Amino acid sequence: MNLFDNISSKNVMKLLYVLESSKVVVKKNQLFLRNIAEQNMIGFIDEGLVEVIKTDYNGNRVIVEELEENDVFGTFVTPLNGEHELLALEDSVIYIFDYDEIIKMKMDKDYYNQFVKNLLLIMNEKIIQKNNRIEILTKKSIRHKLLEYFDIESSSIGLRVFHLPFTFTELADYLAVDRSAMQRELKNLKEEGFIEVKGRKITLLYDKY
């Protein structure tokens, strides 16, 4: 699901104009949008590759999210505050919308209504992802977090074998647990015959329920 699905490129142009979107063109390795939290905004990656980066109180930079073409970001998608900034990994083109502008707009055009619906569908996807993560994070042990994650991942494709969409280090972040403790638990699960791990390929050896 993309923001401009079912809208002709001609009408996309009109939208960009009417909604007073601003076009941001950045070069590779350029930092931009230093204070993204200030506005109630929606960003759209038209071309390129961008990372959302958070600088924590220690001054450590953490990658919050990676955004590719057609991805949407903004306060309504990811929690962004003054600590966040964006880094272009490639030359990129980004459009910035004002969320309130979109809502306030009175406009009787098909393409505008389609746009709002697209936004709705995207938010729906995001909510499902967030619900899944909350479901995982509320589990009280690393083991149960892992198993919940595995179940969600495997159910979504309907197979008991799947590939991790990120590194184990990132998985630990996603589950909000210590990496080495997670590694220990993965080892236990392997030894007890619950799972098989080959690189990022995970096979669930237990039956669902």
Partner DNA sequence: AGCTTTATGTTGCAATTGCAACAATTTTAA
Partner DNA sequence: TTAAAATTGTTGCAATTGCAACATAAAGCT
How far is residue 130 from each of residues 9, 36, 79, 127, measured CA to CA in Å?
Answer: 31, 21, 12, 5
Nearer to DNA, 117 or 184 (CB): 184
Contact 190, 179 (CB under 8 A): no
Q: Say whether residue 62 binds DNA (CB under 7 A).
A: no
Enumerate residues 148-167 that contact DNA by CB under 7 A. 167
Q: Say whether residue 30 binds DNA (CB under 7 A).
A: no
Cβ 193 to DNA shortest distance, Å: 16
Q: Which stretch binds DNA (CB under 7 A): 69-77, 93-101, 110-118, 140-148?
A: 140-148
Q: Say whether residue 181 binds DNA (CB under 7 A).
A: yes
Structure tokens at 184: 């220990």
Footprint of a copy of itself (CB under 8 A): 75-79, 99, 103, 108, 110, 113, 116-117, 119-121, 123-124, 126-128, 130-135, 137-140, 176-178
Find the binder of DNA among 180, 193, 207, 208 (CB under 7 A). 180
Q: Which does 121 bind (CB under 5 to 8 A by kind): a copy of itself, DNA, none?
A: a copy of itself
Q: Say whether residue 183 binds DNA (CB under 7 A).
A: yes
Find the binder of DNA among 34, 109, 130, 200 (CB under 7 A). 200
Nearer to DNA, 32 or 168 (CB): 168
Nearer to DNA, 90 or 101 (CB): 90
How far is residue 183 from each of residues 19, 79, 139, 178, measured CA to CA in Å?
Answer: 48, 28, 17, 9
Q: Which does 1 bind (CB under 5 to 8 A by kind): DNA, a copy of itself, none?
A: none
Please report the DSSP string for 96-133 in residue order: EEEHHHHHH-----HHHHHHHHHHHHHHHHHHHHHHHH
Contacts of 150 (CB under 8 A, 6+ apart): 195, 202, 204
Find the binder of DNA among 76, 99, 168, 194 (CB under 7 A). 168
Binding residues (CB under 7 A) for DNA: these are: 140-143, 167-170, 176-187, 197, 200
